[in-house]
Structure 1
Amino acid sequence: MEIEQKQAQVIEHFVKQASTLQGSSLVSLIVQVTSHSSLFAFSEILAVPSVLELQGTDYAVYIDLLRNASLLPPLTPDQITKLKQLTVLSLAEINKVLSYDQLLEQLDLSNVRELEDFLINECMYAGIVKGKLDHLRRSFEVQFAAGRDLRPGQLGNIIQTLDDWLNTTDNVLLTIEEKIKWADKKCALNTIHQKQKAVKDKVEEVKKSLFNRGGRDFQALDDVLFGETAGLMDYEEDRTRTKRRRSPIY
């Protein structure tokens, strides 16, 4: 997605900067990181050695601001917006339909109008989520949500899910192969049947042709054999009748 491609470029930029800074000089950079409008994943930045050195110091609260709200110092408006955006992403990982009541509580907003404005302007326009607002049902239907950093222990669940998916796809492929073999066999049988039917139809056609042709030849032969004889018999009969009409000569 576009938001993830843009985020990768931002992460690369901040990682390079963090690698060249030490100690207190990282504070302003961390504030920029946690306030950036296009950044919603921080694991690569937190893994930079110079940033890891801040853990256990007064600056560690900036690194952990997304993990431990109780440790946070006063936040800037941009950081507060960032935390609310990340809260929406975290909720979208669990459910694809988020109720307004849940969102109002988690985002500490006072009314539905304020909530819908936040979802539209700070989430959907920012490209981190896509979905539909249902004012009547008081819910937000999530269609897409940008990914967040993996939480501890989450990687094992993802690996297990992928293993299950691979096993399922293997079973589906085996089923498809069996169906293909069955279809090939069925097609071969149909081809043989069609050829047999074509031969049978051809034989019937030849038989019919021979029968029709034989009938015409038989009729012609009948006319030749019996037509002339019948004419001769009629002629002889006429001569006999003529002779009988003559009076005897005395």
Structure 2
Amino acid sequence: MSIELGINFAAKLEPFLLMAKSAKGAAAAKLIQDATSASGVFVFAELLDHPNIQELSASGQHASFYSLLQLFSYKTYQDYLQHKDVLPPLNQAQITKLKHLSLVSLAMERRILPYSTLLHALDMPTIRELEDLIIDAIYMDMIRGKLDQKEQQFEVEYTMGRDLEPGKVEGILAALQSWASTTASVLATLDNKLASLSSRATARQIEDEEYDKAVQAVLKDVTDKQKEGKGAGRKPPLAMLERSSANLADSMDVDEPVENYKGKNRKATMEMGAKSQRKRNRF
């Protein structure tokens, strides 16, 4: 999506690039005024690099217009306020566009933009006018984000890119190289950690397998011993019958004297009772 927006912004500059081929001196200066005032034109690098426009930088009469194009290409509204005495006067369309471009520059630096910062940087008299400026920039796809009226801030989600100031390319390349180096270092560290974790996982798996084998071996040994114990304790049926018969015989031998003893006592008692009865009959 951002690539498509960049292409659209570049396409808006195309008519001015065609006119620059035949524009010299005052015509080239007028072309700069028109391009910086035109609606939807927010990138100017190609026009700034055009030979006929470059010639203005060495012209005492029109050099300020070249500086004006530089202002819209990669500078901000605060830069304009500091150098407005040496720049051509701006119309209202140019002032509004420059403030929009300055908002983009601020959004590229910070994700959260307090209203207080924006009011100062964009020289806006009220919060209402500031919010209207931000909303217009959102409708033109220059930025995207959320207006947080409660916290008095703008939360940036997306911003278009602006032209690079001379000398900034080297800084960006250095930052990218530093980022690439840091990323490579982080990836190498992650690879080492992943390799270590993989090695530990493999070792743990081997330990678990060995443990399972040991447990199974112990269980098998216990089961085998239990089976052997049950087999050794089982008696043949004949032996069990003989033992039962012997126990029964022993039990009968012990009980017989008791029965005999009881029988003898009962006989003696009956005899004594008979003798007593005969004695009573005598009287």
TM-score in terms of structure 2 length: 0.72
User: Counterpart in 2 of 1:218?
Assistant: 232
Residue 147 of structure 2 aligns to a residue whose secondary structure is strand
Contact 1:15 1:44 in 2 (8 A): no
1:64 aligns with 2:67: yes
User: Counterpart in 1 of 2:144?
Assistant: 130
Residue 222 of structure 1 aligns to a residue whose secondary structure is coil
Q: Letter of the aligned partner of 2:101 in structure 1? A: L
Long gaps (5+) in structure 2: 72-82, 260-283
User: Counterpart in 2 of 1:20?
Assistant: 21
User: Counterpart in 2 of 1:194?
Assistant: 208
Alignment CA distance shift 1:115-1:227 (3 Å): same
Query: C-alpha separation between the residues in 2 aligned to 1:36 and 1:192?
Result: 73
1:208 aligns with 2:222: yes
Query: C-alpha separation between the residues in 1 aligned to 2:20 and 2:227?
Result: 101
Alignment CA distance shift 1:105-1:234 (3 Å): closer
Identity of aligned residues (%): 28
Alignment CA distance shift 1:215-1:57 (3 Å): same
User: Counterpart in 1 of 2:246?
Assistant: 233
Aligned ranges 1:50-89 → 2 under 5 Å: 50-55=52-57, 56=59, 58-65=61-68, 66-67=70-71, 69-89=84-104
Residue 209 of structure 1 aligns to a residue whose secondary structure is helix
Query: C-alpha separation between the residues in 2 aligned to 1:229 and 1:5?
Result: 111
1:109 to 112, 115, 124: 124
Q: Give how far 1:15 is off.
A: 6.8
**Greater per-residue helix proportion:** 2
Alignment CA distance shift 1:174-1:97 (3 Å): same
Which protein, 1 or 2, shows the higher relative CO under an 8 Å CA cutoff with sep ≥ 6?
1
User: Whose Rg is larger?
Assistant: 2
Give the aligned CA root-mean-square deviation in angstroms: 3.2
